[in-house]
Each structure stands twice: as C-alpha cells, then as structure tokens.
C-alpha cells in the first residue's frame, strides 16, 4: 500500500483537486500547520495533502508505532503478550499512559529497535529522536497511515489475533480521548496525541490517526498538526480536516 500526493489509482482524480481547494480554503482560516493522508481500502485510493513538507512531532500517536513493534516482536519470539505486557499496552492505548509507553518503548529496543522495525516494514520517513523520549518522534501522515495498514491489514505482518487485540484497544479509548478523526465517521478505531511543544514556544501539537468507515468506505487516516494556540483549537482543526477528507472519499460513488 502506497499513499501518494496524487490519487492516481481508482477514483478521486477530480475530487482530489476539489479536496485540495477545500483544504486550502479551510486551513487559510486556521492557525498553525496541518497535513493529512488517507487510504481507502474499499477503492484502493490514496490521498495526501501537505505530506512532503517538514515532518511533524507525533506526541502520543507514536504509541501506535510502539504497539505495532511490540506485537511483531512477540510474534517473532513465538509467543503472545504476557499479562503484564497486556496491562501496559491497554493503559498506553486506552488512557494514553506515558509511563507504560516508555516501558514498552524500551521493550522493543528504544530508538534503534523501533527504527529498524519501521524500515523493514517500508515506513521510511519516521524518525525516533535521540534519547528516550518516544513522543518526539518525527513523521509524515502517509507514514502513519502505512503503520495503520501494517497493523490492521488481513494480509499484513500482524496475526489475526493481534490485529483484533490492537483494534479492540483503539475502539475502546477513554471517551475524553475519542475526538479527532473519529468525529468524521463510524466504527472508529483511534489514537490521538497532544502536547504543548517547547520548541514552538508552548503552542500545541495535536494529532489524530485511526480507522473508520463512512458511506461504505473503510478509511485509514492520519491528521498531524502543530502550532495551535490551544489544544481545543487544534482539535477543532484536526476534526475539520478529517470531515472534509471523508466527504471527498464518500463522494467517489456518486
């Protein structure tokens, strides 16, 4: 699966230009910087906007990458997650627990382990930063859509049991954390990330990735943003972008 800046396979040739214009118009009214990528499993169509510019800090969205690495590590070892690992993973994904994420990040080998795993899977533009803080990982939306694809695809590297487990965690996040791409569709599996970034003078990084359905389309989506003046402003921007993207994909059948 490849998400590109042009949706040149089935669908979206005209809608792509319309969606480009809609996003440009909407984001001209919003503070900060935003990029989005979508992959429609139903039609095999990909789309990306603003994806090839400077990468974004992932914040807690990096926990999806950590979960993927953890599941593949245990598969390679020929075992299932033990009870303690399941507790850590559940708290990391459902409640965005940073201490649990840190422990699992070390379990998968930290920066080196996560980077090597992502490169083997073809995720080429995601860079965990030096040191132990996984939240500073830089990435593009298209890379995070690819992570979702590797995590949830029936013909992907993750076993059926582990796919069900991962989606179970992402469909049962704490209600207060169920915003973002989930506001744009149904049957949502989501993980969000948010933090006031020191490197941006305390302005907010607000990100959302997930799987959802809309009008018969199964979509994988990542919206990454930075430099919002408040978290609520960033959430509104991310949800506005997600809704515009979902509307465009739903119109493919019209």
- What is the pLDDT at residue 107? 97
CATH code that applies to domain 13-253: 3.40.710.10
Residue 57: which of 177, 190, 149, 195 has the closest Cα?
A: 195
Residue 219: which of 230, 205, 227, 209 has the closest Cα?
A: 209
**DSSP line for 62-110:** HHHHHHHHHHHHHHHTT----HHHHHHHHHHHHS--HHHHHHHHHHTTH
Mean pLDDT, rounded, of the chain: 92
- Encoded tokens for 176: 């207060």
> Reduced to 3 states, what is the DSSP secondary structure of residue 35?
strand
Q: Which residue has the tokens 């992932």?
A: 58
> Reduced to 3 states, what is the DSSP secondary structure of residue 151?
helix
Q: Would you say residue 226 has pLDDT above 70? A: yes
Residue 251: DSSP 8-state: G
- What is the pLDDT at residue 130? 84
pLDDT digits (tens, 9 = 90+) for 165-197: 999 999 999 999 999 998 888 889 999 999 999
Q: CB of 140 within 8 A of CB of 125?
A: yes
CA distance 114 to 171: 24
Q: CB of 137 within 8 A of CB of 205?
A: no
Neighbour tally for 8: CB within 10 Å: 12
Q: Would you say residue 246 has pLDDT above 80? A: yes
- What is the pLDDT at residue 12? 53
> Reduced to 3 states, what is the DSSP secondary structure of residue 173?
coil
CA distance 240 to 233: 11
Q: What is the mean pLDDT of residues 19-41?
A: 97
pLDDT digits (tens, 9 = 90+) for 197-212: 999 999 999 999 999 9
């Amino acid at each position: 699966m490849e998400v590109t800046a042009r949706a040149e396979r089935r669908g979206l040739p005209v809608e792509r230009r319309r969606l480009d214009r809609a996003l440009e118009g909407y984001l001209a009214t919003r503070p900060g910087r935003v990029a989005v990528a979508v992959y429609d499993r139903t039609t095999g169509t990909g789309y990306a906007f603003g994806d090839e510019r400077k990468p974004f800090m992932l914040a807690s969205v990096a926990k999806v990458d950590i979960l993927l690495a953890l599941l593949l590590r245990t598969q390679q070892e020929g075992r299932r997650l033990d009870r303690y690992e399941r507790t850590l993973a559940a708290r990391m994904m459902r409640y965005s627990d940073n201490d649990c994420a840190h422990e699992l990040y070390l379990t998968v080998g930290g920066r080196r382990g996560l980077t090597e795993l992502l490169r083997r899977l073809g995720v080429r533009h995601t860079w965990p930063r030096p040191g132990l803080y996984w939240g500073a990982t830089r990435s593009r939306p298209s890379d995070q859509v690819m992570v979702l694809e590797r995590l949830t695809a029936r013909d992907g590297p993750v076993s059926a049991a582990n796919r069900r487990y991962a989606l179970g965690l992402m469909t049962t996040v704490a209600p207060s954390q169920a915003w973002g791409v989930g506001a744009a569709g149904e049957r949502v599996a989501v993980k969000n990330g948010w933090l006031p970034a020191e490197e941006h003078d305390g302005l907010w990084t607000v990100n959302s990735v997930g799987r959802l359905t809309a009008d018969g389309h199964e979509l994988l989506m990542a919206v990454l943003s930075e430099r919002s003046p408040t978290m609520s402003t960033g959430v509104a921007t991310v949800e506005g972008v997600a809704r515009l993207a979902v509307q465009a994909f739903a119109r493919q059948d019209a």
